[in-house]
Amino acid sequence: MVNVCDIQVMKPLLARHGFHFSKAKGQNFLIAPWVPQSIAEEAGVDETAGVLEIGPGVGPLTQQLCLRAKKVCAVELDERLRPILDVTVGEFDNLEILWNDVLKLDIPALVVEKFAGLRPMACANLPYYITSPILTALLEAECFDSVTVMVQKEVAQRMAAQPGTADYGAFTVFCQYYAQPELLFDVPAHCFLPQPKVTSAVICLRVRKERPWDILDEKTFFRVVRASFAMRRKKLSNGLASGFPELGKAGAAEVIAAAGLAENVRGETLGIPEFAKLANEIVKRREM
C-alpha cells in the first residue's frame, strides 16, 4: 500500500500529476499516519460497516477505512485527484469513488443504494469551508449510525458544549438533538500539508436512535432555539418576542411561565428539554 502520509512519497506523486493544493476547496492533506488510523479505529469501523467518506484527497483515511469496512463510498469534488487516487487506493475493490459535490447528493438515497444490509457510517477529514452545511446534511439525513469527523477544534467544542458555557449555541442544540457527541482527540496543524492556521479535533457524533423528548413540532422547536440565541445577552422573553412576533412581549412571558421557567431566564442556560417545553407551549397556544 502506498504510504500517502509519507511526505517523501506524497510530494513527488503530486508533482508528477501537476497537482497544486486548492485553498478554496479546503485542501489540507494529512501527513501523520496515526491520525487516519485513529479516526478509523475510534469511529469503530468494522466489516459490518458501509462508510461514506467526504473528500478523500489523496486517500490516507480512505485506505484505513477500506482496510476495515465492508464497503466505502468516497465523494470527491476535485477531479484532478483521479489519477492520484488510482495509485493510492486503486487496489481496493470495496471502494467506490463518486466525483461530485457532496452538498448536491441525495444522501439518504445514496445510503439506501450503496449500503443495503450494512451499518451506515460517515467518516471524514472535512473541508472546513463547508463544515456546517455538510454536518447539517449528514445529521438531517437520519440514516447514519455515527458521524465521525475532523473539524476545527472550536467547532468540535461548540458541538459538544454544555448549556451556560460560551461555546453553547444553536449549532450545539442542533447537533445534540440528532446525536450524542464525543470529543475524541486533537490534531495539531503540523499533521497537515499545507498546515492550516487552526488546531483541529476529531469528534464522533453517535446518532440517537430515539430522541428522549416529546416535541410536538420540530420546526417550532428549532425556531425557538434560533430565537433564544439570537439575543444571547438578553432575557429569553426578548428573544422569543422578536423570533415569534405573533406572541408579543406578554405572550412570550406567558409561554415562559407555562413552561415552568423563571421570568428572567436566559436562553443560553437552557437544555433541549426546556426548549422542547417552550416550543410545545407555543404550539398549544396556536391550537387554542
Give the shortest CB-74-to-ligand SAM separation in angstroms. Answer: 8
Residues of this chain, 130-189, that bind ligand SAM according to CB under 6 A:
130
d(CA 30, CA 220): 41
**199-237: string of b/e by CB count within 10 Å (b at 16+)?**
ebbbbbbbbeeeeebebeeeebbbbbbebbbebeeebbb
Judged by CB, which is closer to ligand SAM: 14, or 261?
14
Q: Report the half-sphere exposure of 112 (CA within 13 A, side-chain side).
A: 7
What is the DSSP code (8-state) at residue 79? Answer: G
Nearest position to ligand SAM, beta carbon: 55
Give the shortest CB-107-to-ligand SAM separation in angstroms. Answer: 12
Give the shortest CB-131-to-ligand SAM separation in angstroms. Answer: 10
Note whether 254 binds ligand SAM by CB under 6 A. no
Interacting span for ligand SAM (CB under 6 A) from 49-57, 89-97, 180-188, 259-267: 49-57
Q: Order the strands of the 49-54 sheet from edge to edge.
A: 95-99, 71-76, 49-54, 119-125, 146-152, 200-207, 179-187
Interacting span for ligand SAM (CB under 6 A) from 75-83, 155-163, 246-254, 259-267: 75-83
The answer to whether the CB of 156 falls within 8 A of the CB of 203 is yes
d(CA 140, CA 172): 14
Q: Binding mask 95-124 vs ligand SAM (x if CB under 6 A, - otherwise)?
A: ------xxx---------------------
Give the shortest CB-130-to-ligand SAM separation in angstroms. Answer: 6
Note whether 251 binds ligand SAM by CB under 6 A. no
Q: Which of 14, 45, 49, 54 binds ligand SAM (CB under 6 A)?
A: 54
Q: Which three cell numbers stand for residue 288?
A: 387554542
Give the shortest CB-240-to-ligand SAM separation in angstroms. Answer: 36
Stated length of the chain: 288
Burial class of residue 69 (count of CB atoms within 10 Å of its CB; 0-12, 13-18, 19+):
buried
Note whether 125 binds ligand SAM by CB under 6 A. yes
Please state the φ and ψ torsions of residue 207, each to the nearest 5 degrees.
-70, 135
Residues of this chain, 1-30, that bind ligand SAM according to CB under 6 A:
25-30
Helix (H, G, I), strand (E, B) or coil at 65: helix
Among residues 264, 250, 259, the alpha carbon closest in space to that of 282 is found at: 259
Judged by CB, which is closer to ligand SAM: 75, or 247?
75
Give the shortest CB-59-to-ligand SAM separation in angstroms. Answer: 7
Note whether 226 binds ligand SAM by CB under 6 A. no
Note whether 32 binds ligand SAM by CB under 6 A. no
Judged by CB, which is closer to ligand SAM: 149, or 173?
149
Note whether 86 binds ligand SAM by CB under 6 A. no
Quote the strand ranges of the chain, DSSP E: 29-30, 49-54, 71-76, 95-99, 119-125, 146-152, 179-187, 192-193, 200-207
Q: Which residues bind ligand SAM (CB under 6 A)?
A: 25-30, 54-57, 60-61, 75-78, 101-103, 125, 127, 130
